[in-house]
Amino acid sequence: MPDAAAATPAGRRRNILFITTDQQRYDSLGCNGGTVARTPVVDRLAAEGINYRRAYNQNTVCMPARSTMLTGQYVRTHGVVANGIPLPTYAPSVARYLQEAAGYRTALLGKAHFEPAFDPQNQFEENARVARGDSGPWRGFERSEQAMHAAAQALTLGDEAIAVELDDGRASTGPRAQLPQRERECQP
């Protein structure tokens, strides 16, 4: 593994921003030749940072791919071969490595999806953390502000007030009866 504390010419440690998305082709971004969607923010990040043009996924499905990125392990090693199979709690973490080996401050913001999302009983810590509002250390990250799929959140929180961002960017708050129709249909 390259020296995580590699210094920039100014003598400062480099910032590392790792952005993941689901089910997106390589050429869906403007910086990679895409012409359908405009992606100016990602295009600028790619222009000013590193855009890996020959990186290959270990698995095309969300949970296995994310687990490989977090652990640095092949799918056959960490065991998450499909969505719905949780990443073992003892799995290594690049975030932990960066903290311990190079003194980086680490945070996970957004959807982690290292454990099954549809978990109404909160048996998996990832979902239980969201329900508790826990943003402390988790899986090697110093801070973890996680998000859930809206339908999974509605199942988990029941009739408690929730907030959902609608497709048009508006926020809807209130009981799950106010969820968009497509989300209500996913509930039991």
Residues 75 and 127 placed together within one structural domain of the fold: yes
User: Into how many domains does the chain fold?
Assistant: 3
Residues 65 and 120 placed together within one structural domain of the fold: yes
| Residue 177 lies in domain | 150-188
- Can you tell me the mean pLDDT for 43-48? 92
Q: How many residues does the chain have?
A: 188
Residues 186 and 141 placed together within one structural domain of the fold: no
Residues 133 and 61 placed together within one structural domain of the fold: yes
Q: What is the pLDDT of residues 135-145, one digit of tens each?
A: 999 999 999 99
Residues 137 and 183 placed together within one structural domain of the fold: no
Residues 154 and 181 placed together within one structural domain of the fold: yes
pTM of the model: 0.70
- What is the distance, to the nearest Å, from the Cα of residue 88 to the centroid of all Cα atoms in its chain? 17
Give the pLDDT score at 122.
Answer: 87
Residues 4 and 50 placed together within one structural domain of the fold: yes
Compute CA distances 84 → 48, 63, 81, whole Å.
36, 8, 9
Nearest of 123, 91, 22 to residue 80 by alpha carbon: 91
Per-residue pLDDT band for 148 (boundaries 50, 70, 90) equals confident
Domain end position, chosen among 55, 73, 98: 55
Nearest of 147, 156, 149 to residue 183 by alpha carbon: 149
